[in-house]
């Protein structure tokens, strides 16, 4: 399995060398996207990823730093079928998204760009709810809602963390969290925690350490960085090594880890 960190920035103003949140897991020649922040297809394409091998796109929540590049990702997949004169590798792209209003608005936008956004592949938007999102025989993804969104707000939309099972490994993708303890259900499930991809946009690294120090986790990938990390990534790496004894990675845009 290859893990491609496409965008590692939280929802700050534009930062040099950083785009918003997006991670791609590559397994058995399929690409699985988790969040689609600004410029994700641009970065992924220039990294050498074949966008025509995109199978599933999974969105944690519909804040702009997680969906700002979704339309362009779909547009570029379609564009490449024409530019290369070849079909999509698997004939369909499924987008799993918490808010169907966002999906409907996005499709309206795309249909008004060119050609009514007709594609030679099936394109389907499906609403994420707690429980199994999909199991395609390569990857199994299960959703766990969290309180990143204000549930008292009239415009509340759900936010999710994900359990990812692939190639005999179990990965937890935190998404954005209302509180760190919302990962308890996932991390204390009596299953191996081979890797945790955890946001640092709303929490300092020391807070994450205090929460995780008694939990059994293999590899920790810090992503969705806030300014505390981005203002001095080298110092953040040194601090991560001190706290987590070499088990934590401060991810960067364009980083690929064979795992």
Query: What pTM, to 2 d.p., does this model score?
Result: 0.96
Label the pairing between strands 169-173 and 195-200: parallel
3-class SS at 152?
A: coil
Q: Which residues of the chain have pLDDT under 70?
A: 151-157
pLDDT at residue 155 in the model = 57
pLDDT at residue 152 in the model = 59
Average pLDDT, the chain: 95
Q: Where are the beta strands (DSSP E) in 81-155?
A: 92-97, 122-127, 131-135, 139-146
The answer to whether residues 66 and 42 touch, using CB atoms and an 8 Å cutoff, is no
Instruction: Name the residue among 251, 259, 258 with its Cα closest to residue 6.
Output: 251
Q: Name, in order, each residue with C-beta under 8 angstroms of 108's C-beta and a sequence gap of 6 or more.
A: none
The answer to whether residues 32 and 55 touch, using CB atoms and an 8 Å cutoff, is yes
Label the pairing between strands 54-58 and 92-97: parallel
HSE-CB at 195 with a 13 A cutoff on CA atoms is 21
pLDDT at residue 36 in the model = 98
Longest distance between any two alpha carbons in the chain, whole Å: 55
Alpha-carbon distances of 26 from 30, 167, 174, rounded to whole Å: 6, 11, 19
The answer to whether residues 176 and 199 touch, using CB atoms and an 8 Å cutoff, is yes
pLDDT at residue 114 in the model = 87
Q: Where are the beta strands (DSSP E) in 101-259?
A: 122-127, 131-135, 139-146, 159-166, 169-173, 195-200, 219-225, 248-250, 255-258
Query: What is the rounded distance in angstroms from the CA atom of residue 108 to the CA atom of residue 105?
Result: 5
3-class SS at 9?
A: strand
Retrieve residue 194's tokens. Answer: 């081979």
Multiple choice CATH, 2-258, 3.90.700.10, 3.40.220.10, 3.90.79.10, 3.60.15.10:
3.60.15.10
- Give per-residue pLDDT as tens, 207-234: 999 999 999 999 999 999 998 899 999 9
State the angle between helix axes of 205-212 and 233-244 in degrees (0 to 180), rounded to the nearest 10: 20
The answer to whether residues 131 and 142 touch, using CB atoms and an 8 Å cutoff, is yes
Domain boundaries, the chain: 2-258
Phi-psi bin for 190: left (phi > 0), alpha (psi -120 to 50), beta?
Answer: left
């Amino acid at each position: 399995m290859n893990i491609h960190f496409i965008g590692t920035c939280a929802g700050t103003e534009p930062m040099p060398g950083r785009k918003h949140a997006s991670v791609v897991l590559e397994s058995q020649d399929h690409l699985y996207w988790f969040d689609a922040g600004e410029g994700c297809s641009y970065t992924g394409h220039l990294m050498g990823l074949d966008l025509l091998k995109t199978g599933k796109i999974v969105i944690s929540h519909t804040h702009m730093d997680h969906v700002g590049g979704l339309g362009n990702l779909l547009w570029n997949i379609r564009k490449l079928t024409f530019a290369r004169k070849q079909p999509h590798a698997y004939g369909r792209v499924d987008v799993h998204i918490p808010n169907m209003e966002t999906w409907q608005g996005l499709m309206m936008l795309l249909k008004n760009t060119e050609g009514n956004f007709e594609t030679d592949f099936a394109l389907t938007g499906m609403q994420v709810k707690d429980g199994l999102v999909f199991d395609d025989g390569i990857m199994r993804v299960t959703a766990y809602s969290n309180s990143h969104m204000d549930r008292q707000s009239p415009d509340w939309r759900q936010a999710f963390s994900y359990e990812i099972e692939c190639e005999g490994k179990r990965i937890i993708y935190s998404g954005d969290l209302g509180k760190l303890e919302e990962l308890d259900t996932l991390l204390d499930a009596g299953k191996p925690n081979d890797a945790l991809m955890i946001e640092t946009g709303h929490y300092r690294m020391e807070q994450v350490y205090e929460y995780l120090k008694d939990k059994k986790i293999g590899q920790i990938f810090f992503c969705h960085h806030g300014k505390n990390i981005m203002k001095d990534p080298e110092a953040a790496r040194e601090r991560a090594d001190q706290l987590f004894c070499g088990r934590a990675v401060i991810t960067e845009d364009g980083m690929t880890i064979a795992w």
